[in-house]
Amino acid sequence: MRAPLAPPTTALVAEVVDLHVGFTRNGRQVEAVRGLDLQVRAGEVLGLVGESGSGKSVLSLALLGLLPEASQPRTRGVVRVAGIDMLTASPQVRRQVRRDTLGAVFQDPMTSLNPTMRIGRQVAEAAGSGAEALRLLRAVGIPDPERRLGSFPHELSGGLRQRVMIAMAVAGHPALVVADEPTTALDVTVQAQVLALVRRLRDDIGCSVLLITHDLGVAAQVADRVAVMYAGRLAEVGPTAAVLQAPSHPYTVGLMKSRLSLTTDRHRPVQALRGGAPDPADVPPGCGYAPRCPLAMDPCSQTVPDPLPVGTSAHLRACLAEPSRVQDLALTAAPVTAATAVPAQRVDAGWAARVGGIEKTFRVKAGRGRKATLSALRRVSLDVREGESVAIVGESGSGKSTLLRVLAGLEQHERGEVELGRGGRPQMVFQDAGASLTPWLTVGELLDERLRTEGLPRQERRTRALAALAKVGLPEAVYGARASELSGGQRQRVALARATVVPPEVLLCDEPTSALDVSLAATVLNLVQQLRRELGMAVVFVTHDLSVARIVADRIAVMYLGRIVELGDAEEVIRSPKHPYTKALLAAVPDFGVAPPALKGEPASPLSPPTGCAFHPRCPLAVPDCAQPSLDVGLERLRVGADLLLDADSRRVACIRPKEL
Amino acid sequence: MLILVAKRLTAVVLILLALTAVLFALEQTSTSDPIKTMLGPGASQALVAQKRAELGLDDPIAAQYARYVTDLVHGDLGTSYRTRRAVSADIATFLPATLELALFGLVTAVLLAVAFAVATTLRWPGAGAFRLLLMVGASAPAFLLAIGGIVVFYRELGWLPATGRTDFVDAPTGPTGLLTVDALVHGRPAVLGDALQHLLLPGLAIAVGPAVSIGRVLRSSLVTTLRTDYTRTARAKGLREVEVMRKHVLRNSIGPALSMTGLQVGLMFAGVLVVELIFAWPGLGQYTAQSIPVDDFPAIAGVMLLLGVAYVLINTVVDLLQAAADPRIEA
Amino acid sequence: MAVAEAYVPTAAPPARRDRAVRAARGRLDWLAVGLLVLVTLVALAAPLLAPHGPLDPVGTPTAAPGTEGFLLGSDSVGRDILSRVLYGLRSSWLAALAVVTFGLLFGGLVGLVAGARGGWVDTLLMRLTDGFLALPAPVVAIAVVAALGPGLLNTLLAVSLVWWPFYARILRGEIRTLAARPHVEAARLAGTGGVRIALKHLLPGAIPAAVVTASLDIGTLVLTLASLSFLGLGQSAPAPELGADAARNLSYLLQNWWIPVMPGIAVALLSLAANVAGDGVRNLMSGR
């Protein structure tokens, strides 16, 4: 339940007035925040949205009075929390404000907790007593809190660790909790739980929450108001509904359009923002967004626009273009061209790769010197047809990346078969493209090395390499560059060029967009689609994001704890998911205005997968039979008795209760 | 934890076996001939042969090694060619002085290291000068620090003594053999002060080098820990800076410095041997230095074995301490 | 589709003042590294630079520094201390370089093979290395020299024997870290062979750490070798050697302090030069 919108006269818990923050980084002057005004009202959730480099994290540190001294911050303006200016107050006073008024949740719960101190003591430091710590752990929904008091952070899952962070943040009833990307490092189903928790705590305690995120969808779900930041300034701020329904800044429009959702048109290229975010050391004069803005006019490159009201006084935007032109921009869509249409499935196609009954385990350290067996893949079978695109979707620990690595030949499986078509070994694009390029070798050397295995003469190798670069939209100059000289998007393009310079029959993609900002992710997805079409490759695409899967794939395979639980046509799986886990996964995708029903429980550990159907502890349909150790549930067509429940021939589901699906 | 202890102890046994094997092998290749040394150059062939058989030198190598190890386990380190006494008895005589000096040096090194690291990390006033002084000091060999110290503080200023452990002829000799402790036990503060004065120059001479090595490691891990997310979390909770340092930063920074301290002990042994020679310190260094020119291999091997065992044990303890301090460390 | 992104180098040129500061620091680091070359040249040219033969009594014994044409004084039998120090410096420095070079090459090779090959080869080589590392290097070196008999060659042999495992450890660690990076798997997928991966995709990444370690290590080695020499484990009597010259003349400390102190100062200068140069190398390598 969302609290009624606070009237504008409510007291402010925090106020930022004309804030400027600059740093010296590697001897360069960086302007992170360049004149920001923002108010956080009592009891509200304010969603602050921005891409990397927008200055949103610097703002959170300024609010906490924790700007890193090592980077020699230069500040101007006012950051007032509880009547204290956090920029000019003495360290002791700022500390007292953090103690009494503020709480903080940071992005990575893995590194944000002290690894050598027990959870109980860490929470008690903020809560004041052990009893209060226990109460807080219970309040944030940590199962078996008495036992958890004595645990160390590494013994907890990511979701639980983030709950511990939240417990510390709300200790002592703070007036404002600053949450900087609190769910970015978490799986979708866990993200939904954590967001629900944040909302519930706000309702219970009545604190304000500043929720900083790069994902407009996350902010849309829980925030009363949304503020959009770009290049250190506010682009737009207003009530969530107003901003989402009538975005009045071209950047907000761009963010919404490049953001993939479950309803994005599959037959058009994903709309990408032009270019990249400005270098904070070299922001152009005028509006920071002007170089990428489709509506940019001459004055935009000189005048810095101030946030002014549109319509209601609660909705502000910083843009010189007329509101009607921005509205028009929101309505236009990219044209469908013959070249962008997804190729029709070749019915007669043979297979490009197939795995049958694959099993793969890892020996891992299980603490205190013991070893344990991690079952990464448990009897997985999958055929990939020629020219087909298959997305493998799952959360961490599902085995999706392991399956890809087995296909690539990077891991040896213990049981089952891997057969590859005549095209030979598949090529792969890694999640971190930068790390997949050898830092001290030039792009040319890397491409050359790949071509060398084909036994081509030197001159032809160079020609082919340059052609491959051109194909991924990179200029010749990149040939002589090293990875460190390229931007994130360029590195991903180079990785694609290297994988396709000798066209493989199967291209494997391991979350190639998850480390990229929204706008860059869209261009990479488009490029993968284009290469697939032009080179006639099959693509196996691993992702945790169903909306990405839907865009890139003909078929989707959903994995949970080392097994494929549902397999079928991409559109069909999204439109009418059958397996309870697929349903939960779909429901957890953050979207505008929908608060997802959170799936209960944490994903089980692949170290000890539950017996029977591994999903049964979290499954709303589970019956005692589901937990039978002898149960070995495999992918089946949906049928009750002799009747097929679905016509679609391709759909397979691993569940023993087909009637209830 | 128990598994870890068991594993480490097994490793200790294996390493010590390896050490004894090395020493045994060295003894075999040693240029000195024990029989000649014992009987003198003029001994008759028959006498030599008889003595060889008596000592078991004609047995197979494996049997000799087994006997060597068995003797070691029983505390028999052989007989010194020079003093004609059991090496173990010699060591028992000279060990306390060396132990006292080494402990004093180690404590001094750790104190200097912590001061160096904390002062430079938190940019205390005077930290730069202190750092420069230590860095230059660490470049000097221990023997230069020692003789330089004697020239300045004994010859020129006359503040500190130059030789020996004490000026008292009636200094207590028991129960521990560590003069400072014995002085306390016997309630003689004058002896204690005098002993500390004697320790100061040699102790500093061996401490400066290790202090800088340890201090550098501690400093860099302090800097790293200060930048971690969990330090930021601790500050965000509103903890006092003292609490942040004590509970979150120091505890997580100490590990690498502890390892370095263990490793530096090995280098410090060499320093102790050298410095004892200069200060006429009646310890194992003197004993070794006098054994080297006369090729008294059993004596040298005995001392080296003792130092090797000490080093291995110290580093094992360091490892276990780290495992106890950091719950993430696995066996 | 796939509109070409403009090729913009991500690192914009720094402001002019910052560039000047960085350049000045860089020059200092290069000067520091130049010290290495300078000291090596002095060591090599010692016979040309020394005014007298190191073994020749050429004047009054125990002459103070700066008197009777002896810049650093003369020793108890009237030999020129400067000449002896120069010759001693030559053997100290070249010995340290030799040990470091051997460590880099042999230890580096062991580390590279262990790290790149992995599996049982790695386990075997590293167990061996760990065994060596578990013993205190100077102590083992003393035992070895004591057994083989004192002498420059034996000392070098003994110290090299205990020194290489250090490098094997470091190289292996670096290589393992690199081997876990995706770029190695990407190279494997590109069809690159094992040897080529080791040499082109792993080794270059480990070289900076190895070079930095080695250059910072020269100072430690100079000190260790001097200690061994001081204990009488170096060359025998008349040969000029810094540690031994200090030890043999200890009895002159109170009357003619310069006789034992001068060689000590030479050791300190050598080690200081090596440390300063090592810091310079580290700064340059880390691209400060």
Cα angle C177-C178-C182, degrees, rounded to a multiple of 5? 110
- Rg of chain A, C-alpha, whole Å: 26
pLDDT tens for residues A123-148?
A: 999 998 999 999 999 988 888 888 88
In a domain, A494, yes or no: no
Residue B287: pLDDT over 80 = yes
ipTM for the whole complex: 0.81
Q: Please check whether residues A618 and A588 belong to one and the same domain.
A: yes
Q: Do A111 and B331 touch (CB under 8 A)?
A: no
Q: How many contacts does A have with C, using Cβ atoms within 8 A? A: 106
Residue A338: pLDDT over 50 = no
| Amino acid at position C226, single letter | A
C254 at A interface, C-beta within 8 A: no
pLDDT tens for residues A519-532?
A: 778 888 889 989 99
In a domain, A80, yes or no: no
In a domain, C142, yes or no: yes
Question: Do residues A517 and A277 lie in contact, with contact meaning Cβ atoms separated by under 8 Å?
Answer: yes
In a domain, C192, yes or no: yes
Residue A351: pLDDT over 60 = yes
Check residue C15 and give its pLDDT: 45
Q: Do C7 and A428 touch (CB under 8 A)?
A: no
Residue C9: pLDDT over 50 = no
Q: Please check whether residues A353 and A331 belong to one and the same domain.
A: no
> Which of A400-404, B54-58, C21-25 is predicted with the least confidence, judged by mean pLDDT?
C21-25
Q: Do A490 and C188 touch (CB under 8 A)?
A: no
Q: Do A116 and B326 touch (CB under 8 A)?
A: yes
Q: Do A116 and B236 touch (CB under 8 A)?
A: no
C243 to chain A, closest Cα gap in Å? 43
> Which of A88-97, A333-342, A468-477, C132-141 is predicted with the least confidence, judged by mean pLDDT?
A333-342
Q: Which domain holds residue A603?
A: 342-426+504-661
C203 to chain A, closest Cα gap in Å? 11
Q: Please check whether residues A524 and A659 belong to one and the same domain.
A: yes
pLDDT, average across residues A431-445: 91
| Amino acid at position A543, single letter | T
Report the 3 state secondary structure along B248-304: HHHHHHHHHHHHHHHHHHHHHHHHHHHHHHHCCCCCHHHHHHHHCCCCCHHHHHHHH
For residue A387, how many other CB atoms are within 10 A of its CB?
Answer: 21
Chain A residues near residue C186 by CB distance under 8 angstroms:
428, 430, 436-438, 495, 498
In a domain, C219, yes or no: yes
Residue B301: pLDDT over 50 = yes
Identify which of C9, C15, C22 has the shortest CB distance to residue A29.
Answer: C15
Chain C residues near residue A450 by CB distance under 8 angstroms:
190-191
C288 at A interface, C-beta within 8 A: no
Q: Please check whether residues A587 and A522 belong to one and the same domain.
A: yes
Q: Please check whether residues A366 and A295 belong to one and the same domain.
A: no
For residue C171, how many other CB atoms are within 10 A of its CB?
Answer: 28
Q: Which chains does chain A touch, 3 or more C-beta pairs < 8 A?
A: B, C
Q: Which uninterrupted H or E stretch holds A290?
A: none
In a domain, A84, yes or no: no
Res. A349 pLDDT band, cuts 50 70 90: low
Q: Do B139 and C272 touch (CB under 8 A)?
A: yes
Q: Do A152 and B238 touch (CB under 8 A)?
A: no
In a domain, A289, yes or no: yes
Q: Do B248 and A106 touch (CB under 8 A)?
A: no
> Which of A191-205, B116-130, B244-258 is predicted with the least confidence, judged by mean pLDDT?
B116-130
Chain C residues near residue A432 by CB distance under 8 angstroms:
182
DSSP state of C80: B
Tell me the two tokens of residue C226: 């001097």
Residue A3: pLDDT over 50 = no
For residue B54, how many other CB atoms are within 10 A of its CB?
Answer: 10
Check residue B39 and give its pLDDT: 67
Edge-first strand listing for the sheet containing A45-49: A102-105, A176-180, A208-213, A45-49, A225-230, A233-239, A316-317, A308-309
For residue C101, how many other CB atoms are within 10 A of its CB?
Answer: 12
Q: For testing the chain B interface, which of A95, A97, A151, A181 should be mutated: the one with the most B CBs within 10 Å?
A: A95
C11 at A interface, C-beta within 8 A: yes
pLDDT, average across residues A219-236: 91
Q: Do A106 and B229 touch (CB under 8 A)?
A: yes
Tell me the two tokens of residue B185: 């036990």
CA distance A201 to A209: 10
Residue A650: pLDDT over 80 = no
Question: Residue B198: CB partners within 8 Å, gap ≥ 6?
Answer: B160, B161, B164, B165, B166, B167, B279
Q: Which of A336, A361, A388 represents a domain boundary (last residue)? A: A336
Chain C residues near residue A430 by CB distance under 8 angstroms:
182, 185-186
Tell me the two tokens of residue B6: 């068991």
Q: For testing the chain A interface, which of C7, C19, C286 should be mutated: the one with the most A CBs within 10 Å?
A: C7
Identify which of C7, C10, C190 has the shortest CB distance to residue A478.
Answer: C7
- The whole-angstrom distance between residue B100's C-alpha and the CA centroid of its chain comes to 10
Above pLDDT 70, what percent of chain A?
92
In a domain, A542, yes or no: yes
In a domain, C79, yes or no: no
Check residue C14 and give its pLDDT: 41
Nearest CA in chain C to A25: C14
Q: What are the b/e assignments for C31-70, b being 16+ CB within 10 Å?
A: ebbebbeebeebbeebeebbebebeeebeeebbebeeeeb
Q: Please check whether residues A590 and A535 belong to one and the same domain.
A: yes
Q: Which residues pair with A482 in a beta bridge?
A: A442
User: Residues B237, B241, B244, B246: is their CA dihedral positive or negative?
Assistant: negative
Check residue B284 and give its pLDDT: 92
pLDDT, average across residues A557-564: 92
> Which of A136-150, A177-191, A548-562, B54-68 is predicted with the least confidence, judged by mean pLDDT?
B54-68
Residue B96: pLDDT over 70 = yes
Query: What domains sit in chain B, N to C, each tagged with a CATH number?
Result: 94-284 (1.10.3720)
A162 to chain C, closest Cα gap in Å? 28
Domain count for chain A, please give it: 2
Averaged confidence pLDDT in chain B: 85
Q: Do C135 and B295 touch (CB under 8 A)?
A: no
Domain count for chain C, please give it: 1
For residue B38, how many other CB atoms are within 10 A of its CB?
Answer: 14
Bridge-based pairing state of the strands A45-49 and A225-230: parallel
In a domain, C71, yes or no: no
Tell me the two tokens of residue A373: 């067996």
Chain B residues near residue C227 by CB distance under 8 angstroms:
141-143, 270-271, 273-274
pLDDT, average across residues B195-213: 91
Distance in Å from the first CA to the final CA of chain B: 8
C219 at B interface, C-beta within 8 A: yes
pLDDT, average across residues B86-105: 92
In a domain, C121, yes or no: yes
Identify which of B228, B251, B327 has the shortest CB distance to residue A152.
Answer: B327
Q: Which of A336, A356, A371 represents a domain boundary (last residue)? A: A336
Question: Do residues A377 and A410 lie in contact, with contact meaning Cβ atoms separated by under 8 Å?
Answer: no
Q: Please check whether residues A601 and A565 belong to one and the same domain.
A: yes
pLDDT, average across residues A545-571: 90
C104 to chain B, closest Cα gap in Å? 20
Q: Please check whether residues A576 and A518 belong to one and the same domain.
A: yes
In a domain, A529, yes or no: yes
C25 at A interface, C-beta within 8 A: no
DSSP state of A384: E
Res. A165 pLDDT band, cuts 50 70 90: very high
Distances (CA, A) of A81 to A47, A88, C173: 18, 12, 48
Q: Which residues pair with A567 in a beta bridge?
A: A557, A652
In a domain, C279, yes or no: yes
Averaged confidence pLDDT in chain A: 85
- Most confident residue range from A626-640, B231-245, C46-60: B231-245
CATH code for the domain of C184: 1.10.3720.10
C250 at B interface, C-beta within 8 A: yes
Check residue C33 and give its pLDDT: 86
DSSP state of A479: G
Nearest CA in chain C to A438: C183
A401 to chain B, closest Cα gap in Å? 26
**Which tops the pLDDT comparison, B33 or B90?**
B90
Q: Which residues pair with A360 in a beta bridge?
A: A377
Nearest CA in chain B to C264: B144
**Which tops the pLDDT comparison, A344 or B53?**
B53
Res. C1 pLDDT band, cuts 50 70 90: very low
For residue A488, how many other CB atoms are within 10 A of its CB?
Answer: 18
Q: Which domain holds residue C195?
A: 97-288
Q: Which of A311, A336, A361 represents a domain boundary (last residue)? A: A336
Tell me the two tokens of residue A293: 């803005």
Residue A336: pLDDT over 70 = no
Q: Please check whether residues A310 and A360 belong to one and the same domain.
A: no
pLDDT tens for residues B140-178?
A: 898 999 999 998 888 888 888 888 888 887 778 778 888
B87 at C interface, C-beta within 8 A: no
DSSP string, C222-270: HHHHHHHHHTT-SS-TTS--HHHHHHHTGGGTTTSTHHHHHHHHHHHHH
Q: Do B274 and C250 touch (CB under 8 A)?
A: no
Is residue A348 classed exposed, middle or buried when 0-12, 13-18 and 19+ CB atoms within 10 A define those classes? exposed
CA distance A242 to A248: 9
pLDDT tens for residues C197-243?
A: 999 999 998 988 888 888 888 988 999 899 888 888 888 778 888 88
In a domain, C280, yes or no: yes
B278 at C interface, C-beta within 8 A: yes
Residue A364: pLDDT over 90 = no
Question: Do residues A390 and A554 lie in contact, with contact meaning Cβ atoms separated by under 8 Å?
Answer: yes
Residue B224: pLDDT over 60 = yes
Chain B residues near residue A68 by CB distance under 8 angstroms:
227
CA distance C273 to C35: 6
CATH code for the domain of A381: 3.40.50.300
Nearest CA in chain C to A523: C2
CA distance C93 to C198: 32
Q: Do B140 and C264 touch (CB under 8 A)?
A: yes
> Which of A2-6, A124-128, C116-120 is predicted with the least confidence, judged by mean pLDDT?
A2-6
Res. A308 pLDDT band, cuts 50 70 90: confident
- The whole-angstrom distance between residue A457's C-alpha and the CA centroid of its chain comes to 43
Question: Which residue spans within A127-223 are E strands per DSSP?
Answer: 176-180, 208-213
Q: Please check whether residues A580 and A656 belong to one and the same domain.
A: yes
**Which tops the pLDDT comparison, A237 or C279?**
A237
Question: Residue A243: CB partners within 8 Å, gap ≥ 6?
Answer: A226, A228, A236, A237, A252, A315
Distances (CA, A) of A249 to A240, A278, C180: 14, 17, 44
Question: Residue A661: CB partners within 8 Å, gap ≥ 6?
Answer: A578, A579, A580, A621, A638, A645, A653, A655
Chain A residues near residue B234 by CB distance under 8 angstroms:
114, 125
pLDDT tens for residues C144-199?
A: 888 888 888 888 998 998 899 989 989 998 998 888 888 999 999 988 888 999 99
Q: Do B233 and A112 touch (CB under 8 A)?
A: yes
Res. A48 pLDDT band, cuts 50 70 90: very high
**Which tops the pLDDT comparison, C21 or A259?**
A259
pLDDT, average across residues B15-20: 86
Identify which of B239, B325, B330 has the shortest CB distance to residue A116.
Answer: B325
Report the 3 state secondary structure along A334-370: CCCCCCCCCCCCCCCCCEEEEEEEEEEEEEEECCCCC
Q: Residue B250: name the closest of B277, B226, B283 by CA.
A: B226
Above pLDDT 90, what percent of chain C?
26
A111 at B interface, C-beta within 8 A: yes
Chain C residues near residue B297 by CB distance under 8 angstroms:
146-147
